[in-house]
Amino acid sequence: MGGGGPQRASDRASLRRTNLGLVLRLLHDAGPRPRIQIAADTGLPKATVTHLVAELMERGLVREGEAERQGSIGRPSRTVEIDGRSLCGLGVEINVDYLSLIALDLRGEVVAEQHTPFDVRGSCAGTVLDRMAGTIRHTCDTLRARGTRPAGVTVAAPGVIETGSGVVSYAPNIGWRDVAVVTGLRDRLGAGGPAVLLENDAKLGAVAEYAVAAAADIHDLIYVTGETGVGGGIISDGRLLRGAAGFAGEIGHMPLDPGGETCVCGRSGCWETMVGLSALLRGAAAPDDPVRDPTVDLVQRLAELRRRADEGDHATLVSLERIADGLALGAGLLADVLNPRAVVLGGYFVHFGDHLIDRVRAEFARRVMAPDAGGCEVMLSTLGFSAAARGGAHLALDRVFQDPAGVADAALT
Ligand SMILES: [Zn+2]
């Protein structure tokens, strides 16, 4: 530390919290290692690392691991590793016709998972919040009984979010406008409930994809998810890009088809009208075809369409080709602006992945300005429809890495 004069106690406390987070983050990202290696990796003095590890251990966040012999002589030193059991993060996704929940422990392992079919669109917001609060409370009780404390919960909602105030401003697919989700849940969960955050579902999908991609040393990615709407999330240099007011990533409404179909947003020719699920259905089947009947379960309709594609049905394949070209157009534009290492396709694009991916990749490579698409690869998500809830759980855990002691102590109450 540079500068003269005695350090104030508050500065020392703040530095200590930062360093606790630094050590915990290192063990999470780089895996178990002896204290001396932690000191080398973080640049902290060995004695400081010893104290920090002791403090993390006391709170149940790390534990002693295997003994590791350094060279052929000398005492083997024990490694330190993340202890997954003590804390977990929860993610809850609200969608048109279901609520889903995932809890991840500090190592990123799933410790609870629940998918509840629920008519969100047909229910009032208060009823949805009641149901969500019940599910969260039940999961927290079950986990606490096993010795795992919830560090926080992130709600994933399909729409425009004000993260600061915790309000869903506008979510046309579920019919919500100005719903105070965070306050509503806090009131229902009471004083002892976990901290509650709110974020857009596609942004959280990007967070979940990043947890996978980071292991492959990918730190810049764009996640594009296709459902009724088309949403996206951008990870830039390892961080979720939110923009000045949190609206970054509204990629579904880029006007890419002048004079095209009318969009739910009231404008026309949005990317979503070209590559969203409705576009696929419109191109693949006549209006009276059962795959376009909204009263038939979507899973069944997609399975039928998949069967037709596999059997070589002309209309279905032509429609998929159009979707692939549309995807390449939008993804290519985004790649020109942001130069990501990966564009990850999620949602229904995965369901038709093998019919889409080769054509998307070829068109994408042709369109992107930079040679070799700027080093960017188009890939399919492996997380499926659980991506948003999973990303929510990761975001809830992020608080632990920022302030391990503060969050661990708060979770005890
Ligand atoms: Zn639009």
State pLDDT tens for residues 220-263.
Answer: 999 999 987 899 999 999 999 998 888 888 899 999 999 999 99
Contact in structure between 326 and 283 (CB atoms under 8 Å):
no
How far is Cα of residue 186 from the mean position of the Cα atoms in its chain? 22
Contact in structure between 40 and 225 (CB atoms under 8 Å):
no
| Span 136-148, average pLDDT | 95
The pairing of strands 196-200 and 149-157 is: parallel
Q: Say how many Å lie between the CA of residue 222 and the centre of ligand 1.
A: 19
Q: Say how many Å lie between the CA of residue 387 and the centre of ligand 1.
A: 23
Say what the pTM is.
Answer: 0.88
- In this structure, what token pair is assigned to residue 34? 């002896």
CA dihedral 235, 241, 242, 243 (to 10 degrees): -150
pLDDT band for position 303 (50/70/90)?
A: very high
How far is Cα of residue 352 from the mean position of the Cα atoms in its chain? 22
Task: Render pLDDT for 369-393 as a digit per residue (tens, 0 to 9).
Answer: 999 999 999 999 998 778 999 999 9
**H or E segment at 86?**
none
Residue 346 CB burial class (10 angstroms; 0-12, 13-18, ≥19): buried
Q: Say how many Å lie between the CA of residue 269 and the centre of ligand 1.
A: 7
Is the sign of the CA dihedral 376, 379, 383, 389 positive or negative? positive
Q: Say how many Å lie between the CA of residue 180 and the centre of ligand 1.
A: 24
Q: Say how many Å lie between the CA of residue 229 and the centre of ligand 1.
A: 9
pLDDT for residue 4: 46
- The percent of residues in the chain predicted with pLDDT above 90, rounded, is 73
Q: Say how many Å lie between the CA of residue 252 and the centre of ligand 1.
A: 7
**Residues in CB range of 239: below 8 A, 6 or more apart:** none
List residues bridging with 104 in a β-sheet. Answer: 89, 110
Q: What single string gives the DSSP state of each residue in 125-179?
A: HHHHHHHHHHHHHHHHHHHHHTT-EEEEEEEEESSEEETTTTEEEEETTTTEEEE
Q: Say how many Å lie between the CA of residue 272 and the centre of ligand 1.
A: 7
CA dihedral 7, 13, 17, 23 (to 10 degrees): 60
- In this structure, what token pair is assigned to residue 243? 């923009």
Contact in structure between 19 and 26 (CB atoms under 8 Å):
no
Q: Say how many Å lie between the CA of residue 382 and the centre of ligand 1.
A: 27
Amino acid at 333: L
Phi, psi (5° rounding) for residue 39? -60, -45
Q: Say how many Å lie between the CA of residue 375 and the centre of ligand 1.
A: 30
| Span 49-76, average pLDDT | 83
